Amino acid sequence: MSVRVQAWGIIAAVLADTDPSGAAVRQRLSNSLDENPGVPERALLEYLLETRRSEANTVETLESAREMRLTPRAIPPKLAEHIDAIRSMSRISALLESQMLMTAFQPIYGLAGKNVVGVEALSRFVSDDGAAAELWFAEARAVGLGANLEFSALGSAAAAAKDLPPHLFVSLNISPTSCLDPRLPELFEHIDLPVSRVVLELTETIADEQYAQFIAAVTPLRDKGLRIAVDDTHSGAGALSRMVHLRPDFLKVGRDVIGEVDSDGIQRALAACLVDFTRQIGTTLVAEGIETVGELKVLTELGIDAGQGYLLGRPSVRPQDWASWNTRLDVDGLNRQLVGTEQSGRDSQPTDSP
């Protein structure tokens, strides 16, 4: 359902309410429609922003009714759904208006050279409820504001990237649908981050009906140096043949492939096959979620190109941490640190009395 259709549905539900206490609310919405003829989504957004500043808004009125345990008839199900949508749109609109999001970067190491080659940008939201980023993005998508929030996050990440070492690539998460948005090429015209340093990491599978459009949309940007990354769980269209045609610059594999690769022969064989496959199609293979020194050593021996995970570096919003990523990866140091931590844990355990 398009944003415009959703907007009309919410507007119709609000205006259809006959409760006299909501007359002022309905009048504000009608005024907003008059000021934005033919653009209901803009009218609704302006109404929401105004309503959010007002003590007597529809959401608070109906939530109060729910708290008073009114019967289901008092709040028709369809209207309740629309009110929930209004509440979500208000939350997301407030977030976008106040830009209450930050960017954390997690380092990506080149395993052969043992040095940081890039980072993945991860959104962190400043909110009272402490909701995880994926919940914010899911809520935004549900009310037709997913692309708006994605582009806000992209802009935030691009602005933060100015404090990164300049040789690092920056992986930005984006949905395939947002890649079709005309705002994507416009974004690169208004940020200081060169397109040649950007990797767009697809967060979802490309729908079959969108595949040709996706290729057409990203090709001009790829010609300018943009790179594409896909995850093994949604490899462009759910088929290796489609991924070969897409020719992503990066293939990222997670714990389902690299977990316990140092002790599981099947996992090791699968990882080895992926190394051979990506070399043949000219794609950089990145292992995500590396947790142990044993996994890191085996992945390096197998020829995995790059890796990231808590063992190598946690996401950070601190520029001083980003600056330290110029240093090389000390595998032996990580091993000594891990052994020291385990020994400390054992020493702190209470011993049985004789």
Question: Would the pLDDT of 349 be above 50?
Answer: no
Last residue of a domain, one of 97, 131, 157: 97
CA distance 303 to 21: 68
120 and 163 housed in the same domain: yes
Is 352 part of any domain? no
Is 346 part of any domain? no
Is 344 part of any domain? no
CATH number at residue 269: 3.20.20.450
CB-based contact 221:184 (threshold 8 Å): yes
Is 36 part of any domain? yes
CA distances from 182 to 97, 108, 138, 178, 345 (A): 21, 29, 22, 9, 54
More confident site: 240 or 208: 208
Pairing of strands 198-202, 169-174: parallel
Question: Would the pLDDT of 308 be above 60?
Answer: yes
Provide the pLDDT for residue 21: 62
199 and 227 housed in the same domain: yes
Question: Would the pLDDT of 243 be above 50?
Answer: yes
Q: Could you read off the pLDDT of 79-134 as tens digits, one per residue?
A: 555 556 666 666 666 655 656 678 999 999 999 998 999 999 998 876 544 457 77
Contact residues for 144 (Cβ-Cβ < 8 A; gap 6+): 1, 2, 3, 6, 7, 41
For residue 84, give its domain range.
Answer: 3-97
Element (H, E) at 124: strand 115-125
Query: 302 pLDDT band (50/70/90 cuts)?
Result: very high
197 and 333 housed in the same domain: yes
CA distance 124 to 112: 31
Query: 307 pLDDT band (50/70/90 cuts)?
Result: very high
CA distance 197 to 151: 17
What's the domain count of the chain?
A: 2
Q: State both tokens at 76.
A: 């028709």
Global pTM value: 0.70
Give the mean model confidence (pLDDT) for residues 327-335.
Answer: 63
248 and 132 housed in the same domain: yes
Q: Could you read off the pLDDT of 162-197 as tens digits, one per residue?
A: 989 899 999 999 999 999 999 999 999 989 999 999
Question: Would the pLDDT of 147 be above 80?
Answer: yes
Question: Would the pLDDT of 299 be above 80?
Answer: yes
Closest to 254 (Cα-Cα) out of 285, 288, 230? 288
Is 28 part of any domain? yes
CA distance 147 to 198: 18
Is 149 part of any domain? yes
Give the mean model confidence (pLDDT) for residues 74-83.
Answer: 52
Q: Which of 12-16, 73-77, 322-326 has the lowest mean pLDDT?
A: 73-77
Phi-psi region of 308 (alpha: psi -120 to 50; beta: other; left: phi over 0): beta
Last residue of a domain, one of 64, 97, 130: 97
Mean pLDDT over the full length of the chain: 77
CA distance 285 to 278: 6
